[in-house]
Amino acid sequence: MGKSLSEKVIAEHLVEGRMKPGEQIGLRIDHTLTQDATGTLAYLEFEAMGVPRVKTKLSLSFVDHNMLQNDFRNADDHRYLQGVAAKYGIVFSRPGNGICHQLYLERFARPAYTLLGSDSHTPMAGGMGMIALGAGGLDVAVAMAGELFYLEMPSIMGVKLTGTLSPFVSAKDVILEVLRRLTVRGGVGKVLEYFGAGVRTLSVPERGTIANMGTETGTTTSVFPSDEVTRAFLKGQGREDQWMELRADDGVKYSEVLEVNLKEIEPLMALPHSPDNVKTVSEAEGTPVDQVCIGSCTNSSLRDLKMVAALLKDKKINNNVSLTISSGSRQVLENLTASGELVHLIRAGARIIENACGPCIGIGQAPPTNGVSLRTFNRNFHGRSGTQNAKVYLVSPETAVASALHGEITDPRKLGKYPEISLPEKFMINDNMFIFPTEKVHAIEIVSGPNIKPLPSFKPIPDRLRGAVLLKLGDNVSTDDILPGGSEILSLRSNIPEISKYAFRYVDSSFADRALRKGGGFIVGGENYGQGSSREHAALAPKYLGVKAIIVKSFARIHFANLINFGIVPLTFVDKQDYMGIVQGDMLELDAKGLKKALRVKDVTRNVEMQVELDLSDRDRDVLKAGGKLAAVKYHSIG
């Protein structure tokens, strides 16, 4: 039987375990990436390990999230990150260079390599035929120290692309169609491996868009073959020597196959407040629009902004719409400037903002009260835009432009002539904003500002956990619900005591006080708890407030790993009906002795017992017993 592309790359990097879906495997990691919002913690953790220099082939540190410098805090973080990079042999991408995933795809991604990144959209590099995985910062720090990355072997789901996209339909619509079918949970435990004749009709940036937003299905990662299209892109980036062909064997048997005929897809959008709430654009046509934001790691490539420029050429946006455009990288901006296309954006009325995540993570550009905002981004979780009652729709760049011009949700097929877009054979390349490390490291002093606080340390898990249910939640709780973004909160990413005060801020503003007052306790939730971001703060903040265990119907992968890494016991109901019986405020008692797979929780208030499961590998069980990975890693002295 033939092998899938994913299995080939995984097999090449497999050091421990068997490639049997559901079993834990240990992979060698070639490249790592971090971004500033998760990076400061990751590097504090890395420093705590006492390793003199990173042991990967390449490690990169990007600054793209916390770009507002309202006071000293973010600037201090940037300076700290730059010092760490120089000292430990990490490539540093300076603030203003662009978004980590876009930059990585342009300048560093290479077929058949593995990448581990402290950002959930790291899988974007799967557009280049890599196994690229998102993880918490501590797991990335451990990989930088040369250790393996452990994960559950996913099953490999084939996504067969046939046909060709129609005019005004683009990669964003493809991934929205996949989300429509799979939902935000349908990819859990799987790799989405794209194959079929439709693949070669998509450029590398388009593949990147699809792999990027695959994250929203809960998938472990997404991957595309490396073919002649990949080769041409690498050649354009002056990196043809890094190309190799990579595809699944003929006769491969995927665990399941999703067939998507590109020809049949029409312009789609995700309605508020979930990326899988997908409808056709024509269904929502006519809704007045206040804001349109084009950018984010999903849709800010040169392909996308060339399309936007062509569609905006000689036009003017509607007077009631604020249009922001942020390119994914300095390279994109430079190419657009040199070709003269940037002028079309400016003349049409776009507000050109910095090459960064920006509005995607609530750093500026919050919509007005009850506003409708169309965004080419990947997440529209409640409140993420910074305006709690705003309605955010996720759309393609084509739909974004059509709606910005008309002032209401508009099917882009109404725009008339479809412009032919092609990528340059040779991109203008400028690596000036990367600082490459040198060998001389001893003289480097790392400067930490007053907002960069030491990591709290946690004790081993006691045999008996007792406490109240501090919060009972429903399905698909996102890490944005647990620990929101936005400029006020993001600037506290290096300060756990302070950021903890914001845990569940917009779900229940009294949570942090209550948790502290009650000496901690339990959280109860539904399916897919912790979907979304890789931020460790969503585990660290509850831990800091005394949360001992979280009992849910199911967890999202990265958050589950983060809970173990920071010593919160992640439990699932054996009988999902038991969820119904628990009421917020109930007193629970867990006999946690040995942290065995089968455990019992007693609801003391109601005098009922429930079976719960702690489904962990032996390695993770030891980590949890020690009170988290940092404690466990220290025992095993890496170096």
Q: How far is the CB of 141 from ligand MIC (least distance, A)?
A: 15
Which member of 73, 121, 344, 535 is catalytic? 535
Q: Which stretch binds ligand SF4 (CB under 6 A): 223-231, 353-361, 465-473, 567-575?
A: 353-361
By CB under 6 A, the residues from 169 to 208 that bind ligand MIC are: none
Q: How far is the CB of 480 from ligand MIC (least distance, A)?
A: 7
Q: How far is the CB of 120 from ligand SF4 (least distance, A)?
A: 7
For residue 591, the one-letter residue type is D
Dig out the tokens for 179 from the structure. 């989300």
Residue closer to ligand SF4 by CB (options 360, 452) is 360
219 binding ligand MIC? (CB under 6 A): no
398 binding ligand SF4? (CB under 6 A): no
What is the separation, in whole angstroms, between the first and last Cα of the chain?
Answer: 41
Instruction: Residue 366: name its binding partner from ligand MIC, ligand SF4, none (Cβ under 5 to 8 Å by kind).
Output: none
357 binding ligand SF4? (CB under 6 A): yes
By CB under 6 A, the residues from 449 to 508 that bind ligand MIC are: 485
Residue 282 annotated to the active site: no
Q: How far is the CB of 306 from ligand MIC (least distance, A)?
A: 24
Residue 379 annotated to the active site: yes
For residue 324, what are the contacts with CB-CB under 8 A and spacing of at least 6? 291, 292, 293, 294, 295, 350, 351, 352, 353, 358, 359, 365
Residue closer to ligand MIC by CB (options 521, 530) is 530
Give the residue, chosen from 297, 317, 482, 541, that forms a contact with ligand SF4 under the rule CB under 6 A. Answer: 297
Q: How far is the CB of 14 from ligand SF4 (least distance, A)?
A: 28
534 binding ligand MIC? (CB under 6 A): yes
Helix axes 557-565, 537-544, angle to 10 degrees: 40
What are the start-end ranges of the H helices in 412-500?
Answer: 479-482, 487-490, 496-499
Instruction: Residue 180: name its binding partner from ligand MIC, ligand SF4, none (Cβ under 5 to 8 Å by kind).
Output: none
Residue 422 annotated to the active site: no
Give the residue, chosen from 78, 101, 110, 121, that forms a contact with ligand MIC under the rule CB under 6 A. Answer: 121
CA 148 – CA 636 distance, rounded (Å): 13
CA 602 – CA 522 distance, rounded (Å): 12
CA 225 – CA 164 distance, rounded (Å): 17
Asked if 100 and 107 touch (Cβ cutoff 8 Å), the reply is no
Give the residue, chosen from 4, 34, 38, 217, that forms a contact with ligand MIC under the rule CB under 6 A. Answer: 38
Q: DSSP states of 321-354 as a string?
A: -EEEEE-SBHHHHHHHHHHTTHHHHHHHT-EEE-
Which member of 6, 36, 59, 65 is catalytic? 65
Tell me how crowded residue 50 is: count the other CB atoms within 10 A of its CB: 11
Instruction: Residue 254: name its binding partner from ligand MIC, ligand SF4, none (Cβ under 5 to 8 Å by kind).
Output: none
Residue closer to ligand SF4 by CB (options 65, 548) is 65
Residue 411 annotated to the active site: no
Which DSSP letter does residue 245 get? -
How many residues are present in the chain? 639
139 binding ligand MIC? (CB under 6 A): no
Asked, as a colleague might, if the bond just before 442 is cis with ω within 30 of 0, I would say no
559 binding ligand MIC? (CB under 6 A): no
DSSP 3-state assignment of 378? coil
For residue 241, what are the contacts with CB-CB under 8 A and spacing of at least 6? none
CA 61 – CA 333 distance, rounded (Å): 21
Give the residue, chosen from 120, 226, 324, 335, that forms a contact with ligand MIC under the rule CB under 6 A. Answer: 120
Identify the sign of the CA torsion 123, 125, 129, 135. Answer: negative
CA 172 – CA 206 distance, rounded (Å): 8
Binding site for ligand MIC (CB under 6 A): 37-38, 65, 119-121, 361, 485, 532-535
- Please identify every residue annotated as catalytic: 64-65, 119, 379, 533, 535
Binding site for ligand SF4 (CB under 6 A): 65, 99, 119, 121, 296-297, 357, 360-361, 377-378
